[in-house]
Structure 1
Amino acid sequence: MSKPKNVMEVFRHLEKSNCKACGEKTCLAFAGAVFQSRKQINECPKADESVIELFTHERSNDSFEMGDDYIEDLKAKIPEIDLADVAAHYNGKFDGSRLMLKILGKDFGISSEGRLVTNIHVNRFVAVPFLELVVNGKGIDPTGEWVSFRELKKTAGFSYDFFHRQCEVGMKRVADSYPDLFEDLVDIFGGEKIDGMLGADIDVVLHPFPKVPIMICYWKPEDGVESDLNIYFDKTADSNLPGRGIYTACYGISRMIERLSVRHAEFVTYRPRVL
């Protein structure tokens, strides 16, 4: 089961302490917000894993791809946003009519009327997280405490299993066959390699969006044990990039990495021999 039939079906599974940690005044109000899709069940800090799984909607690739209306809805909210305040929170620039931020190492912006401003190709994997950050982001400084996708709360109902299949599996497949991947990622995204995190063989921290660092940890295959790759986020990530932002950003980066590996393979295959 994923979509509850009524409010009481959600309420029956809650702890009923009215602790207000979810942002609602009562557990019944929170149940109503979940039923109306205004909140996710995992925003209740006292909900156990079985309850979260019960009411977590497993999104398909098809439902995700239909994102144009979602982008337009976010753009429609821009006139209500204090873009100067957003610039101050995310180390951007606001000239009175448009906001500019560094996204994927490039200038990316939006006008006060909601028109995207950039010299790079605009796709939903950039537009959605950028707009989520501008419209709903809190601008909180990263803490340096890393958590997995499953530990984030405001992820629009995307389950960890879905995130793993769509993002981590593809990156691992590329890493297994592309030895220079992590060096290239550091160059492209302005990141850095670090040592000693979680016992991984390679750790890379990328900065694709302001105040949303992403750490990729890769374990090489060894002694019959296959390789592994996991993505971690600062614990503030879903406050700065809530809703569909985190998943969309990582899905886009994963697709970029796969295209990068294809270009690398073509270069290795067709580069001229030096005699």
Structure 2
Amino acid sequence: MSKLDNPLNIYKLLPKSNCKLCGVATCLAFAAAVIRGDKRLKECPHLENNTIEELEGKIIRQMTPEEHLKQVLVPLKEEIVKVDFSASVKRLGAKLSGDKITIKCLGKDFTVDSKGTVISDCHINVWVIVPLLNYIIRSAGIDPSEKWVPFRELSSDTVWDSFFEQRFEKPLKQLIDSYPDLIEDLIYIFNGKPVETSFTSDISLVLYPLPKIPLLICYKKPEEDLESKLNVFFDSTAGDNLQIDSIYRLCVGLLVMFQKISSRHI
């Protein structure tokens, strides 16, 4: 076996006794942890030292999503050098700050230089930086139509739709369920605007993660035997101003921000 690049390859080498002596519940979970880099083979007490030495160098650790995004940043920073900031202000709904461009993200200033370096008083995470640079490079600059559509209507690629539901919609619903004051925080901290819509909800809130990428969150509180309901909508022009993968990543970045806010208050 030349490479060990998935959990099943590791699992085949383990005793499959689920003894938990490694600190993990099952041998399969331990194998997955080894591939992620969270565990080392030597933490399994049933493997011989010579076996561990032989196999350790063959393990190919999987990159985390954050590590992958850091690699994605490299070509983006090369592309952004070609962007004429002064000619892009209107297209992006931004303003020029000397030789840099400043864009509002959730009501906060994010300043970007020609090398793709991002500066802000707000918490910055790689999930937001990648979509921000993509927006600067590729946005068509189309003004919002004020027609709201679900994420699935922005693209025919159902893979991203599944990611969006699992990594953003469901966790956001759970977060608001456990911390109802989050809605108020989104209004006051991130310049959210309550709006009236035709959708059934107790509150409908518009946020602007980027100037021409408005986001509508509709939340209905739980009632008696009915659980809460959350739906997220985008302006129909969102796909023209930001690629579908970056829209997904931008939302995950927002969720990270929201989780940090709620963790300070819960």
Q: Same fold (TM over 0.5)?
A: yes
Written as runs of structure 1 = structure 2, the 5 A alignment for 1:35-46 is none
1:16-95 aligned at under 5 Å gives the runs: 62-63=64-65, 65-95=67-97
**Letter in structure 2 aligned against 1:69:** Q
Partner of 2:104 in structure 1?
Answer: 102
Quote the residue 2:135 is aligned against. Answer: 133
**C-alpha displacement at 1:63, in angstroms?**
4.7
Shift of residue 105 of structure 1? 2.0
What secondary structure does 2:103 align onto? strand
Q: SS in structure 2 opposite 1:190?
A: coil
> For the Cα contact (< 8 Å) 1:193–1:202, is it kept in 2?
yes
Shift of 1:254: 1.5
RMSD of aligned Cα (Å): 2.3
Report % sequence identity. Answer: 39
The amino acid of 2:95's aligned partner reads: K
2:106, 2:190 within 8 Å by CA — same for their partners in 1?
Answer: yes
State the TM-score, normalized to the length of structure 1: 0.68
Q: Which residue is equivalent to 2:12?
A: none
Equivalent position amino acid for 2:124 in 1: V
Matched, 1:186 2:172: no
The answer to whether the aligner puts 1:143 opposite 2:116 as a matched pair is: no
Residues 224, 68 of structure 1: alpha-carbon distance in 2 compared, 3 angstrom cutoff: same
What's the secondary structure of 2:81's corresponding residue? helix
Where 1:77 maps in the other structure, the secondary structure is: helix
Q: Note the residue ranges of structure 1 that are not aligned, 5 or more in a row.
A: 1-59, 266-275
Q: Is the 8 A contact 1:154 1:239 kept in 2?
A: no
Distance 1:99 1:180, change over 3 A: same
Pair 1:256–1:111, CA change in 2 (3 A): closer
CA contact (8 A) 1:217 1:229 kept: yes
SS at match of 1:66: helix
What's the CA shift for 1:119? 4.1
Per mean C-alpha deviation after superposition, the further-off stretch among 235-244 and 165-174 is: 235-244
C-alpha distance after superposition, 1:181-214 (max 9, x if no partner): 2111011221111234311121111112111110
Is 1:248 equivalent to 2:236 in the alignment?
A: no
Shift of 1:232: 0.6
* Rg larger for: 2
Q: Give the corresponding residue for 2:154.
A: 152
Q: Aligned with 2:226: secondary structure? A: coil
Aligned AA (1:99): I
After superposition, the Cα gap between the structure-2 partners of 1:236 and 1:182, relative to the gap in structure 1 and judged at 3 Å, is same
Deviation at 1:154, TM superposition (A): 8.2
